[in-house]
Structure 1
């Protein structure tokens, strides 16, 4: 496909998502099935355009003076490829599939615009109602923090230290320029996509099939390391989902002790069985939603609640989610988080710890939930999360946001400060 066809496809997909309010991944998949002549390179390039638009929808619309899908697609291309109107016109000359370009006035406005003069929510590429929540959650740097959420993300992996080493995996992935992650001890990173490129399908590599590594954002790896699970301990991953943190915990425990992986949703839990088998993680026991966990009551050294959340910290990867999020959804998630924390607390033994993790940047889902929990559970106190960071990664810089919660300190990781997806971590200790 030539550039004009890719532009037309991106406009069609964005129109579909806006009209039907559906996840962009579904719209991209359906478009691909209906246009089988498009090769994998074409689909990747179209997807990049669509995701770039969704990451910066408000700022592009403001700069263009027009927020139609057509205007936004041209804005994204000119921005990502550093093209002016003349260069864009030249690139599309003779392309019969190219849609009509935006007006000369729109293009001139885009070229001359100064985004620093835009309203705060526009600069942050957020819905108006979320701007105050981000300011409350992230302080005076909230606009810069939100702007960093609009960049393309890298591809991160965690080396399975039970089966391989970081050097071995780097060698196995040498065609893809994987490098050690900046912070996570077993992390690897492939740089963000440039232009119309795509990340390699590393899951097709032999090293992945042999269980040498898992795909996992560096922030998620750090959160698992902050739990501080030690060899020989009993650990409950109460919201295990597909098992990414369970696998990281098990490897960090050097195969000694036991990680009990549980989730109330069997669909979310389903992928863990194959992942455990591939990683040869013999110290993971999976518990289905119908199982009674009474034998684990007050017996766990550490309990991890990777709570269901709005996923605001993952918007680099799922930018369409921020335009579908509602205030009622935040309230619903907060109630679910309270329920999960209350249910998990019973499993922590005296002197044990409860780790609360979300991939959200909203205070309503993070510090507020910890403070509410401490009011309900007087036998718990907030711990020192920066100390957990220093113990888990003694050589790593303190690239996080720290805030007082109760009498302790919680951490927030962000794309701007940590170079990862957004994560919140708090440590609670049972008296």
Structure 2
């Protein structure tokens, strides 16, 4: 397929996403099944167009004067992919699968600029109702944070030190031109390419099948390291899900001690068994959800890790459709769930133990606000100094701008080049 046909397909897919309110991945899969002539390169390009359209939906719509699928995709082609609008419009007439030629109004708009006096939430490409929250969390930098959250993410891998080394993994993936991550000492990254660039398919690589590495954003690797799990400890991973951070903790503990991996949802937990086997993680005991699943752990844990259910605002680069689906009601629901988990977690600690609270959110309601409320209600807890956590994990000084008002550590695309994450280590007095 040529670019005009790809643009037309992207408009169709984006229309499907918007009208049927389903995830981008589902809409792209359905389009591919109905258009089997399209090659892998075509599907990747169409996907990039759709994701880019939703990453900057607000500012694209402001530029074009409407938020139709056509307007958003045309804005991506010119504004993000640097296509010449006149040449693009002319090429549409030579392709039977192309959209209609650009109107005079579209030609004028697509080469314009969003005015500087445009509302901040539009410049930041975030939902209007979240602007006060983001401004409270980031101050004068909130628009810049939103703009960086609207970029493309890199593909990051965590080297499984139980089976391999970073040098070995990078050598095995040399065809993808991998690089070392900037912060994580066991991370490998492949930056996102422009336009129709394809993301490397590393999960079919021999190294992945042998358990040498896992796909994991550098931000997730960083908070797993900051969790501070040590060999020989007793650790409860209270929201283990598919086991991404569980595997990182097992490697950090060098298979010594014990991790109890639990999740309230059996379906989320299901993939962990195969992943543990592939990674060679032998110090993990999976606890399936049932009423007495964790009763024997009360008061015995050195560390309880809460990878809390959250709005996922820190992953907007990867899942931009969720940015526009988020509601105040869903945020309130997640806040309630997080508070309940913090209350539950303390039951399992022994004196001097630590609750490690983690979210992939950039909203203060889910981060510092939660920690402040918990400490106020449980004065035996205090936040472990952020600089101390960072020094122990990485043997370097904490970078400027990462410590939050409540003593947590916040990662963002603008500050660390990662997804958005938050961590606060709450230590119980001995």
Normalised to the residue count of structure 2, the TM-score between the two structures is 0.97
> In structure 2, do the counterparts of structure 1 residues 82 and 259 end up closer, same or farther at CA, with 3 Å as the change threshold?
same
Q: Equivalent residues in 2 for 1:278-293 (5 A)?
A: 278-290=278-290, 292-293=293-294
Spell out, residue by residue over 1:139-198, the C-alpha distance to the aligned partner (whole angstroms, 9 max, x if none): 110000000011110000000011110000000000001111000110110111321121
Give the whole-Å Cα distance in 2 for the aligned partners of 1:295 and 1:112.
64
1:91 is displaced (CA, Å) by: 4.0
Give the whole-Å Cα distance in 1 for the aligned partners of 2:400 and 2:416.
5
SS in 2 for 1:361: coil
Query: 1:411 maps to which residue?
Result: 409
1:399 is displaced (CA, Å) by: 5.4
Spell out, residue by residue over 1:284-306, the C-alpha distance to the aligned partner (whole angstroms, 9 max, x if none): 11111125212211111111000
1:400 is displaced (CA, Å) by: 4.6
Q: Equivalent residues in 2 for 1:48-87 (5 A)?
A: 48-87=48-87
Query: 1:422 maps to which residue?
Result: 420
1:93 is displaced (CA, Å) by: 4.5
Spell out, residue by residue over 1:51-104, the C-alpha distance to the aligned partner (whole angstroms, 9 max, x if none): 000000110111122321111101101122212322313443511111113322
Q: Equivalent residues in 2 for 1:39-188 (5 A)?
A: 39-188=39-188
1:256 has 2:256 as partner: yes
* Greater shift in the superposed pair: 157-166 or 62-71: 62-71
Normalised to the residue count of structure 1, the TM-score between the two structures is 0.97
Query: 1:311 maps to which residue?
Result: 312
Query: 1:366 maps to which residue?
Result: 367
1:350 has 2:351 as partner: yes
SS in 1 for 2:404: strand
Give the whole-Å Cα distance in 1 for the aligned partners of 2:284 and 2:408.
28
Cα RMSD over matched residues? 1.3
SS in 1 for 2:110: helix
**Consecutive aligned runs of 4 or more in structure 1 exceeding 3 Å deviation:** 90-93
Query: 2:277 maps to which residue?
Result: 277
Query: 1:205 maps to which residue?
Result: 205
Spell out, residue by residue over 1:232-275, the C-alpha distance to the aligned partner (whole angstroms, 9 max, x if none): 11111110001011110110111111111111111111111000
Aligned residues: 428
Give yes or no for contact 1:226–1:385 (8 Å, CA) kept in 2.
no
Query: 2:247 maps to which residue?
Result: 247
Query: 1:28 maps to which residue?
Result: 28
Q: Equivalent residues in 2 for 1:376-387 (5 A)?
A: 376-387=377-388
* Greater shift in the superposed pair: 290-299 or 5-14: 290-299
Give the whole-Å Cα distance in 1 for the aligned partners of 2:72 and 2:61.
6
* Greater shift in the superposed pair: 96-105 or 40-49: 96-105
Give the whole-Å Cα distance in 2 for the aligned partners of 1:6 and 1:419.
30
Structure 2 residue runs without a partner (length 5+): none
* Greater shift in the superposed pair: 391-400 or 340-349: 391-400
Give the whole-Å Cα distance in 1 for the aligned partners of 2:399 and 2:427.
23
Give the whole-Å Cα distance in 2 for the aligned partners of 1:401 and 1:330.
23
Give yes or no for contact 1:400–1:413 (8 Å, CA) kept in 2.
no
SS in 2 for 1:17: helix
> In structure 2, do the counterparts of structure 1 residues 397 and 182 end up closer, same or farther at CA, with 3 Å as the change threshold?
farther
Structure 1 residue runs without a partner (length 5+): none
Give the whole-Å Cα distance in 1 for the aligned partners of 2:114 and 2:266.
49
Query: 1:226 maps to which residue?
Result: 226
1:115 is displaced (CA, Å) by: 4.3
